[in-house]
Chains A and B, each alone.
Chain A
Amino acid sequence: MAASVVPETDSIRRAVLLLNAVDPGRFPRLLSRLLQRLHLKAETSFSEEEEEKLQIAFSLEKQDLHLVLEAISFILEQAVYHNLKPASLQQQLQSIHLDQDKAEAFANAWAAGGQETIEKFRQRVLTPQKLETIGWQLNLQMSASTQAKLKSPRAVLELGVSNEDSKNLKKVFVEFSHQELFEFYNKLETIQAQLDSLT
């Protein structure tokens, strides 16, 4: 049997106790909400309002609520890391004394949205700059201050590169002549050939 994915630390034990006491009615919805936002880098905390509502709904104090939310997130992250099957997850949770109905709720939520979450994690990149948007414009240059009667087609590529630090998209403008664009395309084709050889 695989090593325990969820270690039995003090905080986990305490979280399990709290979870077992929680009303099972709204539990599945909480699970799927957390699962959907798991991959987001920013603190996926609920807003003040939402936290208060949760406190009331689950009759938990603020600190206990935080502990419960963190424990659920941790369990789900471990499920992502090890790519657990739903049945395996349920078994692991029951072995740390989580009630069966809650463990089953976990398994169901994981079965429904697990693969999607794993895929989102796969897409996460570590490099600070990532290509987000691609725009382009095809112009026909008729003349310039240094040259008359041109008729040369020119393409302008606008690449939107996101920076992890700032929220704005850095726009990079690059101009190509027909020949230059053709050479660029050949390089892209080479990259594609490499990608194809991976599968």
Chain B
Amino acid sequence: MAAVAVGKAAGAAYGHGESSGGSGGFLGPRVPAEVEAMARGLQEVGKETFRRLLKVTVNALEGKDCKDSVKLIAESTDLSEEQLAFLISGMYTLLREALRLPLSTFKQEVFKEDLKELRRPVSEGTALMQASRLPNVQDFKWRVDVAISTSSLARALQPSILMLMKLSDGTAHRFEVPVAKFQELRYNVALILKEMNDLEKRSILKIQD
């Protein structure tokens, strides 16, 4: 069944402007050569073998090392090395492109269900691949101090804030924030939130694709 689903996906991807909506299918205006080769090669592949190939491909997408698994498949089936290469590279490309699209546009329900059978939900696959981005805050710790007395002031009674920010790229930043700067930070964050809200309400975001 999975083979049929992948076949259907490959077929739908043969967009060329003739597919539904004329958008060219999710593989773009030209189907990659490896996907075409894979679609042809799938005819001879059994269900069990296909399942194993699919699993290997997903592992590869997640960045895991699959040399051993591929070797195992090669030994247990009578597919030639060349055929295996075509199949795996085609499936890899197909899956990678499919995972780019948000769920609302991708209509191959059967394909998704088959992925679930392998216990690899589509959303998980998407989450695994992070595009390049600036670090975000992983851990944020703070404390409020009041300086009672300092070497320059017998009675200071000055509050101050100490922040520790751990970012997702592993760096940690500890710094003091004077109260006035803290107000500025709070004001700016509130301002950004307001702008985000305004942005999300605008019509450009309501266009469904």
Give A residues with C-beta under 8 Å from B: 77, 80-83, 118, 121-127, 129-132, 134, 136, 138, 140, 144-151, 153-157, 159, 161, 172-178, 180-182, 184-185, 187-189, 191-192, 194-195, 198
Contact with A along B81-107 (1 / 0, CB 8 A): 000000000000000000111100100
A131 — nearest CB in chain B belongs to which residue?
B177
Q: Which 7 A-B pairs have the closest CB atoms?
A: A144-B131, A175-B134, A129-B175, A146-B129, A127-B176, A146-B131, A131-B177
CB of B158 within 8 Å of the partner chain: yes
Indicate which residue in A150, A151, A161, A194 contacts B144 across the interface (CB closer than 8 Å): A194
Chain B residues, CB < 8 A from A126: 150
A81 and B200 contacting across the interface, CB-CB below 8 Å: no
Chain A residues, CB < 8 A from B153: 80-81, 83, 118, 121-122
26 pairs from A and B in contact (CB 8 Å cutoff): A121-B150, A122-B156, A127-B174, A130-B175, A130-B176, A134-B188, A138-B196, A138-B199, A144-B131, A144-B132, A145-B131, A148-B102, A150-B102, A153-B200, A161-B173, A173-B135, A174-B134, A174-B136, A174-B165, A175-B135, A175-B136, A185-B186, A187-B142, A191-B182, A194-B144, A195-B161
CB of B133 within 8 Å of the partner chain: yes
Within 8 A of A (CB), among B151-209: 152-156, 158-163, 165, 167, 173-179, 181-182, 184-186, 188-190, 192-193, 195-196, 199-200, 204-205, 209
Chain B residues, CB < 8 A from A187: 140, 142
CB of B60 within 8 Å of the partner chain: no
Chain A residues, CB < 8 A from B162: 127
A149 and B192 contacting across the interface, CB-CB below 8 Å: no
A174 and B137 contacting across the interface, CB-CB below 8 Å: yes
B171 — nearest CB in chain A belongs to which residue?
A172
Chain A residues, CB < 8 A from B146: 198
Q: How far is the CB of A130 from chain B (nearest CB, A)?
A: 5
Chain B residues, CB < 8 A from A149: 101-102, 105, 209
A174 and B144 contacting across the interface, CB-CB below 8 Å: no
Indicate which residue in B159, B176, B178 contacts A129 across the interface (CB closer than 8 Å): B176
A156 and B134 contacting across the interface, CB-CB below 8 Å: yes
A81 — nearest CB in chain B belongs to which residue?
B154
Chain A residues, CB < 8 A from B59: none
Q: How far is the CB of B39 from chain A (nearest CB, A)?
A: 22
